[in-house]
Amino acid sequence: MFDNLEEIEAKYIDLTSKISDPEVIADQENWRNYMKEHAALEPIVNKYREYKQTKQAYEDAMELLKDPEMKELAEEEMLENKEKLPKLEEELKILLIPKDPDDDKNVICEIRAGAGGEEAALFAGTLYRMYTMYAERKGWKLEVINENPTELGGFKEISFMITGKGAYSRLKFESGVHRVQRVPETEASGRIHTSAATVSVLPEVEDVEIEIKPEDIKMEVFRSSGAGGQHINKTSSAVRLIHIPTGMVVECQNERSQFQNRDFAMKLLKSRLYQIEKEKQDSARVNERRSQIGSGDRSEKIRTYNYPQGRITDHRIGFSIFQMENFLNGDLDEMIDNLIAADTAEKLKGKDE
């Protein structure tokens, strides 16, 4: 580990020199890449330097123990630094875990009602509201791409973009089947029903990351069936894109202009295709330990919302929260922090084996 850290520090020093070189600064694209790499290495280098200083202080205190006049002070210094070293080593191990390159990206979320009819659609609406309120707490921007609402206020499906630093790093563990156990608003007899909705969280991708040939896209336009007043219903502004090689279909009808709808539909299509490719690469890495927490399998039942008990349980980590109202009002950080901690522990375990 420490040989690797020495190499990282040497690279960081080299990058520090490069980003202040006028010739490099003149080439803005190169300079931005160097700046990004420099910023990524900085926390590792700072922690490694802290470790080296602590180790040196420990060794100096050990030497001072030989001096009778300094023994008491040296002993205190030695013990203090000895306690710090294992903690700093653990922090360095975590920092050296390869970062998901998508973590800082914006996300495209899709929520679809599953088994349970109208109640499942209402639960999809509950989840959408929950993520909307979480985005507000984080200061992120949310834009609806496409929606298929029901008469009772739920959604058969809804897709939306969340724009904000680190959005994917916080929301990527939400992919999967969310199950609800409650008395439906549509149920007169008061019996508890179980229904479900599927959440898919995709990173927004840049054009350079995935290329779609123009001839592989068939575009159809149609009149929007959503809200938006007379204008949106009189013009064919809604867009449907069909990706011919895969047969994948995406729609967007929430913007007023055909151009805006096409732009959002392309973003969604690229993110879906990118996710398929990413999942292929993950499954191909047979020798690499795959974290169960971070797999994002959309067919996996990940969480149950039990209304009678006021309990939300995440089945991947066996963690429950008994604050239903707060959780549904966007207070997700405790659950997400626990998922991230479990994922990190799983990756550390994989590195040690």
Of the three residues 284, 305, 321, the one that is the final residue of a domain is 284
In total, how many domains does the chain have?
A: 3
Per-residue pLDDT at 217:
86
Of the three residues 284, 318, 342, the one that is the final residue of a domain is 284
Considering the domain architecture, whether residues 111 and 155 belong to the same structural domain is answered as yes
Q: Is the pTM of this model over 0.85?
A: no
Q: What angle do CA 305, 311, 314 make, to 5 degrees?
A: 60
Q: Kindly report, residue by residue over 151-209, the tens digit of the pLDDT.
A: 888 999 999 999 998 999 999 999 999 999 998 876 767 788 899 999 999 988 875 56
Considering the domain architecture, whether residues 9 and 121 belong to the same structural domain is answered as no
Per-residue pLDDT at 298:
52
Q: What is the CATH number of the domain that holds 226?
A: 3.30.160.20
- For residue 134, count CB atoms less than 10 angstroms from its CB and return exposed for 0-12, middle for 13-18, buried for 19 or more: buried
Short-list 160, 95, 116, CA closest to 134: 160
Q: Is residue 328, in this structure, part of any structural domain at all?
A: yes
Considering the domain architecture, whether residues 329 and 277 belong to the same structural domain is answered as no
Query: Which of the listed ranges 228-237, 243-252, 323-332 does the model predict with the highest average pLDDT?
Result: 323-332
Q: Is residue 102, in this structure, part of any structural domain at all?
A: no
Per-residue pLDDT at 282:
62
Considering the domain architecture, whether residues 127 and 170 belong to the same structural domain is answered as yes
Instruction: Write out the DSSP string of 28-95.
Output: HHHHHHHHHHHHHHHHHHHHHHHHHHHHHHHHHHHHHTTSTTTHHHHHHHHHHHHHHHHHHHHHHHHH
Task: Give yes or no for residue 285 having a pLDDT over 70.
Answer: no
What's the whole-number average pLDDT of the chain? Answer: 85
Helices (H) and strands (E) in the chain, counts: 10, 11
Task: Give yes or no for residue 299 having a pLDDT over 70.
Answer: no
Q: What is the CATH number of the domain that holds 135?
A: 3.30.70.1660
Q: Which residues pair with 303 in a beta bridge?
A: 178, 314
Domain extent at residue 271: 214-284
Task: Give yes or no for residue 136 having a pLDDT over 50.
Answer: yes
Considering the domain architecture, whether residues 118 and 189 belong to the same structural domain is answered as yes
Give mean pLDDT, residues 51-68. 92
Considering the domain architecture, whether residues 309 and 161 belong to the same structural domain is answered as yes
Of the three residues 256, 284, 312, the one that is the final residue of a domain is 284
Per-residue pLDDT at 291:
45
> Considering only 8-17, 43-52, 177-186, which range has the smallest mean pLDDT?
177-186
